[in-house]
Amino acid sequence: MREYLLTLCVTAAVTYLLTGPVRKFAIAAGAMPEIRARDVHREPTPRLGGIAMFFGLCAGLLVASHLTNLNQVFEKSNEPRALLSGAAVIWLIGVLDDKFEIDALIKLGAQMIAAGVMVMQGLTILWLPIPTVGTVALTQWQGTLLTVALVVITINAVNFVDGLDGLAAGMVCIAAAAFFMYAYRIWYSYGIEAAAPATLFAAILMGMCVGFLPHNMHPARIFMGDSGSMLIGLVLAAGAISITGQVDPDNLFGGSERSTVHGMVPIYIPLLMPLTIIAIPAADLILAIVRRTWRGQSPFAADRGHLHHRLLEVGHSHSRAVLIMYFWSALIAFGALAYSVNSASMWIVLGVVFLSAIGLLLLLLPRFTPRAPRWAESFVPPRYRRRKVLPEAEQAVATEDATGGVPAEGQEPEHRTPVAVGVSGVNGATAVGPRSRTAR
């Protein structure tokens, strides 16, 4: 565990430290597109945040390759190299798209090429463990097609959900945390060494997201762009493919088929775990394709109909919409993780149902703003503090400022002494005049 934490911290530190220089480079390179109709932000914001995330990935893999225990992952498996090769391909295409706006079909072809590069180096689905049926071996073509499909779906699901500040990085970080706990348990609790690469990928992915989030929280100073969203989508898909198609349950337990099926419940969960960790982005992707096709548009045509856009239209603020998406992602991912630990516990089901009810309540109360107690107001943002009652004189001034100085009906206009302010002239002289309302 200490080596995983070290890898995570190094990845996060490299990503965090490089994001600032990358932002300056993006501004100098002109990677600041104009505000589009579907955008939520108000000012042009630089992209290319994926550059820092990619170098964080490289730093994490480099450190892991020199650690005592994690070094075995590189010696016994070619999957880390396959991940780095596919990530380099998708990252280069993403950088070009952030700068030059590449066509959607070209990006789709690049995603397939990146998936094919990983398949050629051994990162592919070899078999599927299906409950009550057993292990179903896949042919080379079946495994390749299924791997490419999973990579493309995951990349586009993450890319589609990247519409609010900190949304994609936070949701992927939550999914990676749940997946790391699951894969780590499979490796060390059950002694399945084939789960080691997926555990490493999840730790590195968490570091990439944690390092980038401080720069991307609302209001964001830099966007990850397609170079970042497609990259973290590919890393997430690589971990799911590694643990789903590389673990063979038939060689782990002896006994009857029924005892093997019940004993390998945590192994069968990979069939659902990759879907649960991208459940919200995948649902958004499916709804977007259906919506655009129904309107006669291209499935790749951008619009403002995504889930986060709908939360804003309902009345939720930017920050609250992001937190609601975080909540549902965590509920689904960690709910599946808890079920994999103890599938017979009714408390887990009741807990998920209770938290789902809370989530629905939050969705239906967009205008509810919680207020912190007075003793905690100094520790929370200003929007959660109680409004202070102004004295009568201050209220009168505030009312006059709000109405533009026009007295209310039945009141005499109040004569106020103009305040002299300094206005810098051309020759450095100072002119004195009445106070300007626009200069406050």
- Rank 112-121, 167-176, 349-358 by mean pLDDT and report only the highest: 112-121
Mean pLDDT for the stretch of residues 270-282: 64
Percent of the chain at pLDDT exceeding 90:
27
Q: Is residue 327 part of a domain?
A: no
Residue with tokens 């600032």: 20
Mean pLDDT for the stretch of residues 210-227: 89
Q: Is residue 440 part of a domain?
A: no
**In terms of Cα–Cα distance, which of 80, 156, 144 is closest to 115?**
144
Mean pLDDT for the stretch of residues 388-406: 50
**In terms of Cα–Cα distance, which of 166, 173, 227 is closest to 203?**
173
Q: Is the dihedral of CA 253, 259, 260, 265 positive or negative?
A: negative
Pair of tokens at residue 380: 């929370």
* pLDDT for position 261: 42
Q: Which structural domain, as residue segments, surrounds residue 40? A: 2-251+262-300
Torsion of CA 252, 235, 233, 267, to 10 degrees: 10
CA 197 to chain centre: 21
Mean pLDDT for the stretch of residues 385-399: 53
* pLDDT for position 344: 60
Q: Is residue 236 part of a domain?
A: yes
* pLDDT for position 271: 54
Q: Is residue 336 part of a domain?
A: no
Q: Taking 50 as the threshold, does the pLDDT of residue 423 lie above it?
A: no
Mean pLDDT for the stretch of residues 413-434: 42
Cα–Cα distance measured from residue 15 to residue 210, given in angstroms and rounded to the nearest whole number:
8
**In terms of Cα–Cα distance, which of 243, 322, 270 is closest to 77?**
243
Average the pLDDT over each of 10-14, 33-37, 109-113 and give the range with the smallest value. 33-37
* pLDDT for position 64: 93
Mean pLDDT for the stretch of residues 281-285: 71
Number of domains in the chain: 1
Q: Taking 80 as the threshold, does the pLDDT of residue 46 lie above it?
A: yes
- Rank 93-97, 123-127, 248-252 by mean pLDDT and report only the highest: 93-97
Taking residue 186's Cβ as centre, other Cβ atoms within 10 Å add up to 24
Whether the Cβ atoms of residue 4 and residue 65 lie closer than 8 Å to each other: no
Q: Is residue 313 part of a domain?
A: no
Q: Is residue 348 part of a domain?
A: no
Taking residue 104's Cβ as centre, other Cβ atoms within 10 Å add up to 15
Percent of the chain at pLDDT exceeding 70:
65
User: How high does pLDDT run on average in the chain?
Assistant: 75
pTM: 0.73
Residue scoring higher pLDDT (153 or 60): 60
Q: Is residue 349 part of a domain?
A: no
Find the length of the chain. Answer: 440
CA 126 to chain centre: 29
Mean pLDDT for the stretch of residues 97-110: 89
**In terms of Cα–Cα distance, which of 307, 354, 302, 351 is closest to 326?**
307
Q: Is residue 372 part of a domain?
A: no
